[in-house]
Amino acid sequence: MSILETDGLTKHFGGVTAVDDVDLSVEEGEITSLIGPNGAGKTTLFNMLAGALEPSTGVITFRGEDVTGLAPEAIARKGIAKSFQITNVFGGISVLENVRVAVQARHRGGWNVHQHADSKAEYTEEAEDILSFVGLSEERDRPANVLSHGDKRSLEIGLALAIDPDLLLLDEPAAGMSQIEIESMLDLIEELAGEYTIMLVEHNMDIVMNISDHVVVLHNGAVIASGPPSSVQADESVQEAYLGGMA
């Protein structure tokens, strides 16, 4: 069953068509990877799905409901989470506190400052569970800004999980990582896949081909191929797009 669909999704920036008439269908429980050369439109597409950018035209349907043009907070409440950028991590406060604040914002709607001690304990427990899931239990009391790059990316994913999503959008989670960090990120994504539907933007083809159920290839904003990893890898137009992208 598909959890997310786009119909004719398009984004223009002035004269540039960054995303061009994209029809997507994401199956619940699967890992769908979105690949394509630099500038293909992957991040722009993610930003529209997450409500950070309004589409020029087209429709986004999530769990059968039209969510096109909703604000990021509303999209998050529907169950779509995009891994936050590092700037969303509060550097000076602890790893645990970062996640606890995000959990609390979900429960409290982000505006109610009144808080009972027992609910605070609940939020802390939920935050601890999330930290354990993303492998950061041992870092819980350290200030977020002293974490390694790889651990910061895991914390960003933890913050996304704090909204209790159904669909998790990960934009290049392994970018800038060492080989060891890449391997633990791969393990984490595979673990996440047991609980969440995942859309992944990733340039590392070993990762994409290893863990994806479905691969969608964007080129100049348009979908040029879509299917299981092996068929996409063998697709001539995909190979040409990548060669053209490197020229």
Ligand X SMILES: Nc1ncnc2c1ncn2[C@@H]1O[C@H](COP(=O)(O)OP(=O)(O)OP(=O)(O)O)[C@@H](O)[C@H]1O
Q: How far is the CB of 14 from Mg ion (least distance, A)?
A: 18
How far apart are the C-alpha atoms of 51 and 26, rounded to whole Å? 17
Name the maximum alpha-carbon separation found in the chain: 60
Question: Does 39 contact ligand X by CB under 6 A?
Answer: yes
Per-residue binding string, Mg ion, 173-192, x by CB under 5 A, is: --------------------
CA 168, chain centre distance (Å) = 5
Question: Does 18 contact ligand X by CB under 6 A?
Answer: yes
Question: Does 47 contact Mg ion by CB under 5 A?
Answer: no
Q: How far is the CB of 217 from ligand X (least distance, A)?
A: 11
3-state secondary structure of 45: helix
Question: Does 104 contact Mg ion by CB under 5 A?
Answer: no
When binding is defined by CB under 5 A, the residue of 6, 32, 43, 212 that contacts Mg ion is 43
When binding is defined by CB under 6 A, the residue of 13, 66, 110, 190 that contacts ligand X is 13
Q: Beta-carbon neighbour count of residue 29 at 10 Å?
A: 15
Which residues in the 41-80 window bind ligand X by CB under 6 A? 41-44
Q: Beta-carbon neighbour count of residue 180 at 10 Å?
A: 9
- The answer to whether residues 16 and 39 touch, using CB atoms and an 8 Å cutoff, is no
Helices of type H across 58-148: 72-78, 95-108, 117-133
Q: How far is the CB of 245 from ligand X (least distance, A)?
A: 9
Instruction: By CB under 6 A, name the binding residues for ligand X.
Output: 13, 16, 18, 36, 38-44
